């Protein structure tokens, strides 16, 4: 993120908004909305006045530890969403802020890298079926627990942003693609474990093709009982 001397308090004034426009670009209408949005948030949450606002080259974000927001465009709904994160997480320390949210993101990121090879290796292993199923259930449970705080935080931030806007439905519609993307990213490990677990229990040509493409052995036909 580029360095910036701007704060949310600055964005509540014309001079600060013009300074951001000079750096970020965008239309006068967008910055007029950002000015109004900044004042709305500060009216209800004056503690956000010192929140740092800068330019990000890799997407918008809210950094709780450094109390700063990064913007990559002049969309007022994006600013509102990141401020929603600031309101939701707050500035004070808590188990949710300091441990659950950051570590769940790290765990989800790690699981995204290992979910497919780990689940394929487990499916192809010589372990007893009962043990395989138990380990798949453990993996799915961990992935679900890791995803939950991220999903909750994104939903709450989006709701706060929409509530602060003049049109709740329109803002929700504007932010929905980002919410869906965050949700898909958070749920990727869980869906991977569930998918491989589902495929390994199926027989037939389609299931065998998918299994072989994942490096799993083709499953023998189920014997009638």
The pLDDT tens digits for 26-72 are: 999 999 999 999 999 999 999 999 999 999 888 899 988 788 999 99
Q: Cα separation of 103 and 109, whole Å?
A: 10
**Where are the chain's structural domains?**
8-89, 95-213
Cβ proximity of 161 and 87 under 8 Å:
no
Least confident of 7-21, 153-167, 174-188, 208-222: 208-222
**CA 212-191-201 angle, 5° bins:** 45
């Amino acid at each position: 993120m580029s360095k910036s001397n701007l704060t949310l308090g600055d964005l509540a004034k014309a001079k600060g908004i013009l300074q951001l426009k000079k750096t970020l670009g965008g239309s006068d209408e967008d910055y007029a909305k950002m000015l109004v949005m900044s004042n709305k948030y500060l009216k209800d949450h004056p503690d956000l006045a010192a929140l740092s606002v800068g330019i990000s080259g890799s997407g918008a974000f809210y950094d709780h530890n450094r109390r700063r927001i990064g913007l990559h465009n002049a969309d007022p709904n994006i600013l509102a969403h990141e401020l929603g994160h600031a309101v939701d997480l707050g500035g004070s320390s808590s188990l949710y802020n300091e441990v659950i949210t950051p570590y769940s993101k790290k765990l989800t990121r790690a699981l995204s890298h290992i979910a497919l090879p780990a689940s394929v290796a487990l499916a192809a292993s010589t372990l007893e079926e009962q043990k395989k199923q138990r380990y798949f259930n453990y993996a799915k449970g961990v992935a679900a627990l890791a995803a939950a705080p991220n999903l909750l935080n994104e939903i709450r931030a989006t709701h706060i942003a929409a509530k602060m806007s003049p049109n709740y439905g329109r803002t929700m519609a504007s932010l929905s693609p980002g919410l869906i993307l965050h949700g898909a990213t958070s749920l990727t490990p869980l869906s991977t474990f569930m998918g491989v677990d589902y495929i390994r229990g199926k027989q037939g040509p389609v299931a065998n093709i998918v299994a072989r493409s994942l490096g799993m052995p083709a499953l023998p036909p189920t014997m009638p009982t």
